[in-house]
Amino acid sequence: MDEKRVEEALDRLEKEEHHILKVLEEAKESEKHLDEKRLQKLKHFTIGDFAQSVIGATVFSLPAILNTSFWDYIPRLSTPFLFLVHAVVFSCFFIALNYEYRDTFKWNMTFFKRLAKRSFYVYFSSMMMIVLLLILANKIALNLSNVEVFRNFLAAMSMGLVGSVTFSFLKK
Amino acid sequence: MKKKHLSVDMMNLEKHYDKFNIDFIRYFTRHKFGINIFASVAAMSYWLSSGLWEWSLEVPLRSAINAGLLGAFFFLILFTTIAYAAGNSFMESLRLSSRRCLFSFTTMNLAIWPILFLSGVLTWIDLFSWTLTLGLWGNLVCGYTAVTLDIAIPLIYKLIYK
């Protein structure tokens, strides 16, 4: 009688363990599928991705471009400092883009090549919009010098880059 | 019609079937990058050192802009037509050709701007209008030579050696 109860308890435990393992396998499969889906999105730059970059860059940079006190502050900063800020923002943009498509930052040559291509597309898309806005705000004009145009571009583009990766919720 | 040429995208791990080989549009390889840079440097050096420089400054800006737009549209339409004839849909052909043109344009400008600044023709204190004029002429000179060469050289190589 006791042996029968022990056997029934063991059977029940075995079934529960089997059920837990099955749930775990299904969760792993769904996560594997999710990574592939995210990687597929990395491979192709669609109209939705373009729109997201442009809208994000516009929303973040437009208030600064239209704000006169922002342009009063920029002349106080040196050109190498503006370039450094732009480089730091670009590296943060690259890291943020990496984490949009996977959960690690491990070295993987194929992934980084695809990510570099995607970064180029997003940067170029944002740049088109930022340049247009700067022309409209007369911050890129024919009568300005190269250094003034370059400084205005660096300042606006730094903010545009932040916006272009922040607005990824638009695609979801 | 049955598609004949199998093109394998080693970066995205995808296969594409085309009626004929359009890999020169699909992929912008290291060889094309190298040819583009070399041809752009050669074209810029010739333009800056020859009588072509003086002639280009006398040409009205509007004519130069029209020539540039014509060249850009010509290459875009040429690549789109070839990709379309290879059996791709219109949107896919336009996507392939515009991507190819974008990569060529970026590569050319990677050569043009450093040469303009290093040669002393352009400085940071010059007016932006002068920069645009030089940039336009640089792109015209390099576009008609470098893009033509980066299509022609691999094709000639294939014809001779395969």
| B34 secondary structure, DSSP code | H
Say if B58 is an interface residue toward chain A (CB within 8 Å): no
Q: Please tell me the distance in Å from A147's CA to the nearest CA on chain B.
A: 5
Greater model confidence, B146 or A38: B146
For the record, the structure tokens of B36 come out as: 């583009």
Q: Which of A110, A120, A146 sits opposite B128 (nearest CB)?
A: A146
Say if B129 is an interface residue toward chain A (CB within 8 Å): yes
Task: Please name the residues in contact with A1: beta carbons below 8 A apart, sequence gap of 6 or more.
Answer: none
Say if B120 is an interface residue toward chain A (CB within 8 Å): no
Provide the number of CB pairs (under 8 Å) joining chain A to chain B.
Answer: 41
State whether B128 and A43 contact (CB < 8 Å): no
Residue range A87-96, pLDDT digits in tens: 999 999 999 9
State whether A114 and B12 contact (CB < 8 Å): yes
State whether A147 and B124 contact (CB < 8 Å): yes
The pLDDT of residue B16 is above 70: yes
Residue range B42-70, pLDDT digits in tens: 999 999 888 788 888 888 888 888 888 88
* pTM assigned to the model: 0.80
Is the CB of residue A40 less than 8 Å from the CB of residue A111? no
Respond yes or no on whether ipTM tops 0.95: no
For the record, the structure tokens of A135 come out as: 């022309």
Is the CB of residue B102 less than 8 Å from the CB of residue A124? yes
Taking alpha carbons only, the member of A131, A136, A121 closest to residue A152 is A131
Is the CB of residue A104 less than 8 Å from the CB of residue A36? no
Residue of B12, B98, B109, B123 best to disrupt the A interface, most CBs of A under 10 A = B12
Residue range A9-60, pLDDT digits in tens: 888 888 877 877 777 676 566 555 556 677 777 888 888 889 999 999 999 9
